[in-house]
A and B are shown apart, each in its own frame.
Chain A
């Protein structure tokens, strides 16, 4: 039976990752060639003189942006073909060759076109193209311009491999690959130890998650005999529902997801990842890569639906992460750190959604979050870029372009950025008709609905009832929504309102970005405002209802159905009440922020830091990093050095096996004396001739 997509544009899916990979090759080559020609040792001036365009600026930009834009075009074509195909067609798998044929294992290089993978591919290439375009302006004067675009293209390549892979093993290639790209881009300005550290930390923490992913794959293979999504989905029914095995598989998968998507306790790498260029934060650490974990859980919906305990774990971790990060976000002064903790918190929300079986709501929020968070990051990038240039104009090399305490009043100088970022802020806060309102409301409503009567609610987690967990999660999300409104409004007030705190004469040089950077902001602004139309609730019929819901139905409905079995649809009255509560919380949060966060009362940047109390704990992010350093990292390093290396290796093993008996020592002396006699030549002769003679004798003896 041929698939309905056979012969359609969907067969071009291989072009999707190939195009950015070509971009990586070209830009990578330009980068290496350039670096070899202009070695720093011969041109020490090149490093400091950062404000000159790269000689191949046009070519690099055209390749970098063009390949991703072309991939977006291909994604649209594939998507169109998919829309035309019947909804029950099932995934369209294209196999390009065998990768790991070993024993009974068969892993192919294969991509899978289905409704979920193409939504992701559109986001990755679409938002990706916008952010690439923004980077043309943002990175224009960086000496590592081609290297930047090479890495960024490489990222898109791996991210597309991640979302298109037709088996867990192929996904894993993209999974670790985006980690690599992220590592390279976080440490892009690697001459500073801090940046290099941040990149390494991201890679290592992600590896902890990847370990979980690996174990999950081993379990799948040992028990289902396949790593292919189609096989796993088909055979998952053979697993005992709620059994230890499927629960273990899901928990290990979630460990992987938690690493990639920065959930407790593996979130620690994401705030540090802000060391990379800001467009990187927008693309990788907000819109695409970090949502990989949410994608993985949604992709494995059939498995998670069989493991309510694992699903509840996802809810619990998501909820804790959501509120924990939101609380930390309240007290950050670095504009990017505010957004970073906000991202961690919003990802937590998505996990609560997919954990409670609301896969569509989770993916919906993933999409709208990609719009408004990319906009926020790029807006922050525009601000940082403007301030950086202003400082450069007045030769101020010490002021921090990212610190909210040195901003203020930017609305007058950067009206475009100001307006667009406010739109995104209102969207993330959940103000009606903006995209974030609809997606967040859907998550809240679904969790509320699942809390009574559903299969998930009647499951239990370590003896705690699922219903209780879901109720608490609903409450936590509501509080998180409140905090979100507060910290986002606070950030906007401090950055754009009140008097200017930009030091010295630099303030006069601040202005909106050039159009190459402004245009992506505008597009994202439009998406932020109208993105909610993707999936309107039936309650507010302002257009076609629940498009995304119907679109994703074939992929996730079985899993979602299993988890929500037994729960009743909400009445209109209840739904209106829920919406009312969500809106009230958002308005309350904004109001609270306006009341408490007076731009005029911002402390000076050199003001004394709090040294005790809750403020102190918050400013230091609950000391999680310090705790991990002291409890895990330092003991391991110390033990390895003193006990394993110095103690066991050098002391014990060498002593017992090698140095122990006294005659050996005399032997060493004897051998040393012989070896140093300078007669090595003779030894060599002896050996060579002896070997030859031996072999010759064998042959002679053999023919006799």
Chain B
């Protein structure tokens, strides 16, 4: 069993800090009588408490990220405590650079989005922030859990707050959106629970530890296929992969800014990377399965792009763009090369970043005009120049312009996938063209052209707080685009492990490194 180490305090701290923050906020809120709106002074306290909590969380996540050693042990900052000893379930936490990166992303996105959308929520502020903090804790748990049962518990902790957030603070169609989200995610994760139980029973290992079950624990291909299917479904739904995506545009459209950003964190794609694929390599390396999933990915890329093209509402457009990006993640993960898997991880991260920045910017418009319909804008570049610069930069990153974060991930996915799946790569490449079409068209209709709606003349530009937040995004977008080297090197061992595990099962006879014989390869 993996031993505890000196940095074992980090992961529990990352889980409990947001929960303690949530408790503190609940205490503040209790001063007002139940059912009444809070007085303004309390609002400020709640805002500050939330921001400070998430700020601490972001700092902790940074500490975690920078203390991770890519060349070191598979799992770091390990917590290993007994939990339900009858079943062999343990509180087993541990991260590798990929999960460390996801925790870093989550903490910073939550922090920046709360700071960047200060005034987005007016009603029931206290509950809103409590739920978001619980979500943050759950998210860290999902990324850090390496015990399957613990992972499942955390998975549910992530889903429930989101369900409430959409249902209560969403717009006009909030109840429908929330329920759609609930039915799809709960239904599919119950299947995953069944698969976890079956895996536990069939493996006979008497443990839920990932390390004990990885590789399928001696299960045959048929069993692996079934269980993989259950995991895949849960993850596919949560990451809004085609055709399980319809809840996302609705939910993100109705949800307040921070919740929309929280919905965009790629928990599902991470689940594929960490659990579904290494647990069931016989299924994940199965030709038909790979072909099918990559096919779904490609459909998602093109379908998402085409539907984004015709969205009259900018937020929905961004959601469909995210569905398109999710397709790149699928293709990258299942194409089975180190480059494509690294690319997929980068797409998870950078699509989270650019989508968050877009939702923040659109939230600023929405706050002032009460609408996100593209047709209600136009000519904004003259009125809100800073906003325009930021929207353009973030859009270009989403389009995948070289020099921005968006390019690196997509490029590596396609480059790495080409050798095994040329046709799919070719089709996915068309998505790159389409991304330019839908985003530039939308940006043009918002920022450029004549200013026709008088109401837009009095829009305010980014204030100081928003400037700082957006500047942070800009720096990250460019830094990841120009110098992703450290990041790539950090996550490379994890990517190699996954590829070795999945492909190693598929073709144990030829684990040949590509560089050595690349030149002698025949087309």
Which residues of A sit under 8 angstroms from B483, Cβ to Cβ? 97, 99
Asked if B396 and A180 sit within 8 Å, CB to CB, the answer is yes
User: What's the nearest-Cβ distance from chain A to residue B173, in Å?
Assistant: 11
Cβ contacts A71-104/B at 8 Å (1 or 0 each): 0000000000000000000000000011111111
User: What's the nearest-Cβ distance from chain B to residue A38, in Å?
Assistant: 10
Asked if A688 and B523 sit within 8 Å, CB to CB, the answer is no
Q: B126: CB under 8 A from chain A?
A: yes
Asked if A671 and B23 sit within 8 Å, CB to CB, the answer is no
With A104-B339, A683-B164 already in contact, the answer to whether A222 and B418 are too (CB < 8 A) is yes
Nearest residue in A to B184 (C-beta to C-beta)?
Answer: A657
Q: Give CA–CA (A666, B306) in the complex, Å.
A: 34
Q: A523: CB under 8 A from chain B?
A: no
Known interface pairs A97-B485, A207-B433; 15 further A-B residue pairs with C-beta atoms within 8 A, sorted by A's residue number:
A39-B385, A101-B488, A103-B339, A103-B416, A193-B448, A214-B432, A225-B514, A238-B519, A637-B309, A672-B179, A681-B29, A684-B127, A688-B26, A688-B134, A694-B153
Q: Give CA–CA (A664, B187) in the complex, Å.
A: 12
Q: B103: CB under 8 A from chain A?
A: no
Q: B484: CB under 8 A from chain A?
A: yes
Nearest residue in A to B513 (C-beta to C-beta)?
Answer: A104
User: What's the nearest-Cβ distance from chain A to residue B80, in Å?
Assistant: 9
User: What's the nearest-Cβ distance from chain A to residue B285, in Å?
Assistant: 18
Q: Give CA–CA (A636, B305) in the complex, Å.
A: 11
Q: A644: CB under 8 A from chain B?
A: yes
Asked if B425 and A640 sit within 8 Å, CB to CB, the answer is no
Which residues of B sit under 8 angstroms from A176, Cβ to Cβ? 401-402
Q: A40: CB under 8 A from chain B?
A: yes
Q: Give CA–CA (A35, B461) in the complex, Å.
A: 11
Which residues of B sit under 8 angstroms from A245, Cβ to Cβ? 523
Q: A41: CB under 8 A from chain B?
A: yes
| Interface band, chain B | 35 or more
A window 13-55: CB within 8 A of B: 32, 35-36, 39-41, 47
For this complex, 21 residue pairs linking A to B, each with C-beta atoms less than 8 Å apart, are A100-B408, A100-B485, A100-B488, A102-B488, A103-B342, A104-B339, A104-B515, A177-B403, A180-B396, A208-B433, A211-B432, A218-B414, A225-B515, A657-B244, A658-B179, A658-B184, A658-B246, A671-B167, A681-B126, A688-B23, A702-B90
A window 683-698: CB within 8 A of B: 683-685, 687-688, 691-692, 694-695, 698
Which residues of A sit under 8 angstroms from B403, Cβ to Cβ? 173, 177
Cβ contacts A167-178/B at 8 Å (1 or 0 each): 000001100110
Question: Which of B42-50, B273-281, B356-364, B435-443 lines the interface with chain A?
Answer: B435-443
Q: B168: CB under 8 A from chain A?
A: yes
Q: A471: CB under 8 A from chain B?
A: no
Asked if B437 and A204 sit within 8 Å, CB to CB, the answer is yes
Nearest residue in A to B179 (C-beta to C-beta)?
Answer: A668
With A32-B385, A192-B450, A657-B244 already in contact, the answer to whether A100 and B412 are too (CB < 8 A) is yes
Choose among B19, B430, B514, B518 the residue that contacts A688 (Cβ–Cβ < 8 A). Answer: B19
Asked if B523 and A244 sit within 8 Å, CB to CB, the answer is yes
**6 tightest A-B contacts by CB?**
A702-B81, A225-B518, A103-B338, A35-B385, A190-B448, A218-B418
Asked if B338 and A687 sit within 8 Å, CB to CB, the answer is no
Asked if A695 and B15 sit within 8 Å, CB to CB, the answer is yes
Which residues of B sit under 8 angstroms from A672, Cβ to Cβ? 175, 179
Tell me the count of chain A residues lying within 8 A, CB to CB, of chain B: 91
Nearest residue in A to B160 (C-beta to C-beta)?
Answer: A687
Asked if B91 and A217 sit within 8 Å, CB to CB, the answer is no
Asked if B440 and A204 sit within 8 Å, CB to CB, the answer is yes
Asked if B518 and A215 sit within 8 Å, CB to CB, the answer is no
Choose among B84, B310, B521 the residue that contacts A637 (Cβ–Cβ < 8 A). Answer: B310
Asked if B246 and A657 sit within 8 Å, CB to CB, the answer is yes
A window 234-264: CB within 8 A of B: 235, 238, 243-245
- B134, B243, B449 — which one has the most chain A CB atoms within 10 A of its CB? B449
Q: Give CA–CA (A702, B8) in the complex, Å.
A: 15
Q: Give CA–CA (A117, B307) in the complex, Å.
A: 42
Which residues of A sit under 8 angstroms from B246, Cβ to Cβ? 649-650, 653-654, 657-658
- A217, A224, A684 — which one has the most chain B CB atoms within 10 A of its CB? A684
- Tell me the B residues contacting A by CB distance below 8 Å: 15-16, 19, 22-23, 26, 29, 34-35, 81-84, 90-91, 124, 126-127, 130-131, 134, 137-138, 153, 157, 160-161, 164, 167-168, 175-176, 178-180, 182-184, 243-247, 303, 306-307, 309-311, 337-339, 342-343, 379, 381-386, 389, 396, 401-403, 408, 411-412, 414-416, 418-419, 422, 425-426, 429-430, 432-433, 436-437, 440-441, 444, 447-451, 457-459, 461, 482-485, 488-489, 492, 495-496, 513-515, 518-521, 523
With A640-B306, A644-B306 already in contact, the answer to whether A36 and B386 are too (CB < 8 A) is yes
Q: A622: CB under 8 A from chain B?
A: no
Choose among B34, B180, B448 the residue that contacts A187 (Cβ–Cβ < 8 A). Answer: B448
Q: Give CA–CA (A653, B382) in the complex, Å.
A: 41
Which residues of A sit under 8 angstroms from B488, Cβ to Cβ? 100-102
User: What's the nearest-Cβ distance from chain B to residue A16, in Å?
Assistant: 17
- B19, B411, B495 — which one has the most chain A CB atoms within 10 A of its CB? B411
Which residues of B sit under 8 angstroms from A217, Cβ to Cβ? 415
Q: Give CA–CA (A176, B244) in the complex, Å.
A: 34
Choose among A180, A211, A654 the residue that contacts B429 (Cβ–Cβ < 8 A). Answer: A211
Q: A221: CB under 8 A from chain B?
A: yes
Which residues of A sit under 8 angstroms from B342, Cβ to Cβ? 102-103
Asked if A702 and B306 sit within 8 Å, CB to CB, the answer is no
Asked if B444 and A196 sit within 8 Å, CB to CB, the answer is yes
